[in-house]
Structure 1
Amino acid sequence: MRWDEFEKACPELAGLARERFTRDQLAILGTLRSDGSVRISPCEVDFAAGDLLFGMMWESRKALDLMRDPRLTVHSVPPNKENPDGDLKLYGTAVPVTDPDARRAFVDAIEARIQWHPPGDYHLYAFDVQRASHVRFSDAEGMRVSRWRPGTEVVTELRPG
């Protein structure tokens, strides 16, 4: 589902994701290489036109991965080993963005965020969210795991630390 639909369906995890990705301006992407192994890449993220968007350099390896197989995992960037905000993960597929208005909204979002816009050609993908999770460790609670799938409520489980 598109980002704006995810925010309505799962405001708890979508809110955490929006806060983290807006603050960090970066996420870790997991794509699949042609041999089936995982490629991990940093990528800037922006919210525009109701979508979570990923712009990529023209014909970068991660963009070529997504052209071949759109499955994608997005992981929040941990600031350090304590990671007080926990690990946020989104699972889904990358959808190429070709609509000129959506592409303009993306460029406007980048210009507002870092006063820059992509020179020349670039790949632009919207994230189609299919699952989400958040894991946080604390001395008091142990491990708190929250999971969501479409059509369900967030399920949270506490596990001893």
Structure 2
Amino acid sequence: MSFNWEAFAAAEPAFAQTVEDRFTKYTHHVLATLRKDGSPRTTGLEVRFLNGELWLGMMPRSVKALDLLRDPRFALQANPGAGAEMTDGDARITGRAIEVRDPQERAKYVGEVQPPSPDSFHLFRTELTEVVRTSLKDNAYLLLETWKPGEPLRRTKRA
């Protein structure tokens, strides 16, 4: 079962909006990919939510793009913000990155985002495998909200 951002938003609209708002609050986030030897690599990344998709755009032949071309699994961590107070909670998305080569799809993205090198960049759409938000409620407990494709949103309180 393949879930893009639009399918996630249809399944859990309020939660999807909360997570999208968390990611759009800041420009730069942290992407985790897998190196050739299987060890993790973390790098900075800008993300875009456009036309029902979560997009990852990257410079040509960047190591993170090469990682994803070899192994599409990724984890994306929202920027915690100034002081890392995390007043809006912590958001994480995991999934698979699928390179987009179709000229029409790329042209739509370029028209919206206007990347620095519109003719030379890697563009990936995402298939989601898990979305998690952790937040502090009433300074009393942590609330973990977890969504996986085909499952209802799960909420867990931790004191």
Pair in the same fold by TM > 0.5 = yes
Structure 2 distance, partners of 1:97, 1:128, is: 12
CA deviations over 1:4-47 (Å, ceiling 9, x no partner) = 11111122331122212222133211100111111111111112
- Runs of at least 5 residues in structure 2 that lack an aligned partner in the other structure: none
Structure 1 distance, partners of 2:20, 2:79, is: 13
Alignment of 1:128-143 (within 5 A): 128-138=127-137, 140-143=139-142
Structure 1 distance, partners of 2:149, 2:12, is: 8
Alignment size in residue pairs: 156
Normalized against structure 1, the TM-score is what?
Answer: 0.89
Match status 1:68 vs 2:70: yes
Query: Is the partner of 1:65 in helix, strand or coil?
Result: helix
Alignment-derived partner of residue 26 in structure 1? 28
Deviation of the 1:97 alpha carbon: 0.8
Query: Is the partner of 2:38 in helix, strand or coil?
Result: coil
- Runs of at least 5 residues in structure 1 that lack an aligned partner in the other structure: none
Alignment-derived partner of residue 88 in structure 1? 91
Q: Is the 8 A contact 1:141 1:158 kept in 2?
A: no
Alignment of 1:1-161 (within 5 A): 1-79=3-81, 80-111=83-114, 117-138=116-137, 140-160=139-159
Tell me the percent identity: 35
Q: Which amino acid aligns with 2:145?
A: S
Q: Is the 8 A contact 1:13 1:132 kept in 2?
A: no
Deviation of the 1:117 alpha carbon: 3.8
Normalized against structure 2, the TM-score is what?
Answer: 0.90
Structure 1 distance, partners of 2:51, 2:148, is: 23
